[in-house]
A and B are shown apart, each in its own frame.
Chain A
């Protein structure tokens, strides 16, 4: 017991030193740095498309890199690939397990993946020879639910799980290549860096971690949230991480300064953040909340410049595109009427 107590103290002390080192480079606040900038004008969002067809809550969706196709996963046990412009369904893929919680579109457009309470990540080939979409691989090794998955290429995919780990898989062989362990709570979401060398994960231990894909190690840990981190994304230049949490705030953590630089919060916002995405220039942050709203933040002034409010809950029979509480990013982008 004495040894463990010593180890624990040493770990604590190192964390304190990191905190001090971070403080040492804090020479400016956002207010000071952005003093010369005017806030973006009010942004109006309108629904442009509604994709109907799902029969139950939609838990996740993901855009393809061509900005036209997207995939959505619903608890009715279907994965649907949509042509969002025409609102036609390109594929409707029946799933073995209907308890799906996440889905992803490969950058190449050839594959989609999904997973959930079955603890597995299932990969589907959209461009199979005979035109049928079939399961290509079932990646099983997690001991908890699959909360998120993202492709790096057609041969590699990263998954995050309720078992507190993330895994990098080799899709070809269907085996796990690296296990990223370190979080102390369910991993809820992940995002891959633009250069594909790193990825970030947000978890129920209130932290976000930056992982080196090649080394398999955690390079940086970011704390500060007071509740689960549900959503995570990179700032477009890859130098910062944006997180959304159940504590109703979003935070921007800079990777080079190794700390939180900006918090996006408002006393009238009480519900947790469920999803987020920055605009292409990084000036705007679109964040979806548990109260079915999407708030648009001016990222450099930390002020809200727009709000998209879903009407009151519509019964599921209408097959409304998205249950906004779960994921409004994609629909917000659709609603915004722009490619991002």
Chain B
């Protein structure tokens, strides 16, 4: 699935933006003031000018981007793997060594973004040069490719050999240092454009995306009309101040911090670390006693209560005491219409009408007359969303009225009191348990400490912070 480098004149955008960024780094590295100090590097007996060591590269990246050594190595390796920096020692291996190994900047002529079409002809000439220059210099895979090319472009083979000889002759006129540099440059270029078997093809990404600002979507008057329609509606919407929105995210994160396993760990233990799935078992849909965190979440927002099967059950019990259980039954029945099978919609809508909406219905729900009229009209031609308005009305009724009272009720308070706070599993309990990798403390240990320092531990801090 290699990409056609000259994809019908279009650019392969995603790679290009990545390369542009890399090139900026390369240019910055060569800046006379803030760039790297380059010097002559010795390669056996030859002295190569304008070179740097692997360690130089890493040090410069650490300083420039304020990153750690590991990251700098990763970044530097990317520059090498994409051919922007090449090694002078072991030119067949595009790897960045964090030591005194010498490296050089690739000439812009060979930059991957330049996208010269690396044709078979060019490759053949390159291999021919190697072959002629020194017997046995071609690797196995190169020999195979060479003979394949020989068959495929046999008609131009004289040209290939002639070109190869010419280029070799010209290079002999050069100083040894220049010769080495040119050979390494070319080697790096071909390692990228014709990678050896088993090495990842750096130019091989996902499938092409031919439809950027697509020709599939004709920009005709229909298109603009629909855009205008969409924009008009979008313009009319209410917009909330950004300060309010940001505040909302902050509050949400705070509220849920203790419930976030990555932030706060989880009890009794993290199943991925301890291989003990108790955490999931304790929190499965229906359990004899729910966990405390779970019951707490019911008080965060109404949808938390409704989307939890046990929460719904508890809420239903409460509503039955208040003689308003029909509301929740109605809401659930509407959900089943919305998400259920299409073939059953008509039947279900009829049921809902009979049970909840018809005058004198056993579980009649109190909907305002406007919504009722609209719904009854819609029932004549039932569809998946016909109950939406009515359902929304009842939802808000429950949310504003029954829900707050439920949270203050004894039923809820008892549930919270009875709820389980799982014991943290101590490592020493399972001394013979073989660990897959070294267990690390919960990733949130540092953050938990930070939270405590801020005095924001807030809710129940039974959640342990170390494993």
Contacts and interface: CB of A to CB of B under 8 A. Distances in A.
Interface in B16-66: 17-18, 21-22, 25, 61, 65
Interface string A298-339: 011000001101001101000000000110000000101111
A261 B242 contact: yes
A217 B237 CA distance: 14
Contacts of A326: 206
Contacts of B226: 181-182
B253 A281 contact: yes
21 contacts: A34-B250, A68-B277, A85-B272, A85-B277, A101-B207, A186-B211, A194-B303, A217-B233, A219-B233, A221-B234, A257-B244, A281-B255, A281-B256, A282-B249, A284-B260, A299-B249, A300-B250, A309-B71, A309-B74, A338-B262, A340-B261
A46 B212 contact: no
Given A4-B220, A42-B446, A270 B250 contact: no
The 10 closest A-B pairs by CB, nearest first: A41-B446, A337-B272, A28-B243, A281-B260, A281-B256, A33-B246, A14-B231, A7-B224, A256-B240, A268-B65
Interface in B205-222: 205-207, 209-214, 216-217, 219-221
Interface in B226-253: 226-228, 230-235, 237-250, 252-253
B256 A280 contact: yes
Given A236-B252, A261-B242, A338-B270, A268 B18 contact: no
A270 B339 contact: no
B135 interface: no
B246 A30 contact: yes
Given A184-B214, A284-B262, A291 B252 contact: no
Contacts of A214: 385, 388
A77 interface: no
A299 B253 CA distance: 9
Contact of B18 (A41, A152, A195, A290): A290
Interface stretch (A19-27, A88-96, A123-131, A133-141): A19-27
A227 B241 CA distance: 27
Contacts of A10: 224, 228
B1 to A, nearest CB: 9
B189 to A, nearest CB: 20
Contacts of B440: 44, 46
B14 A227 contact: yes
A248 B16 CA distance: 12
B447 to A, nearest CB: 4
Interface residues of B, number: 97
B138 interface: no
A236 B252 CA distance: 9
Contacts of A257: 239-242, 244-245
Given A27-B241, A257-B239, A284-B262, A155 B341 contact: yes
Given A24-B239, A204-B212, A246 B272 contact: no
B266 interface: yes
A101 to B, nearest CB: 7
Interface string A136-165: 000000011100000011011000001110
Contacts of A293: 74
A99 B445 CA distance: 43
B239 A21 contact: yes
Nearest to B253: A283
B339 A164 contact: no
A234 interface: no
Contacts of A267: 65
B13 interface: yes
Contacts of A117: 207
Nearest to B264: A281
Given A4-B224, A185-B211, A221-B234, A256 B239 contact: yes
Contacts of B250: 33-34, 37, 300
A238 B267 CA distance: 27
A44 B467 CA distance: 14
Interface string A193-235: 0111000000011000000001001111100001110000001
Contact of A8 (B61, B224, B259, B280): B224
Nearest to B275: A85
**Residue among A37, A155, A271, A283 with most chain B CB within 10 A:** A283
Residue with the greatest number of chain A CB neighbours at <10 A, chosen from B77, B253, B259, B260: B253
B231 A239 contact: no
A43 B200 contact: no
B270 A337 contact: yes
Given A155-B341, A214-B385, A164 B217 contact: yes
Nearest to B441: A44
A48 B226 CA distance: 50
Given A11-B228, A338-B266, A34 B246 contact: yes
A337 to B, nearest CB: 3
Contacts of A37: 250
B75 A48 contact: no
A207 to B, nearest CB: 11
A258 B18 contact: no
A339 B342 CA distance: 33
A283 B280 contact: no
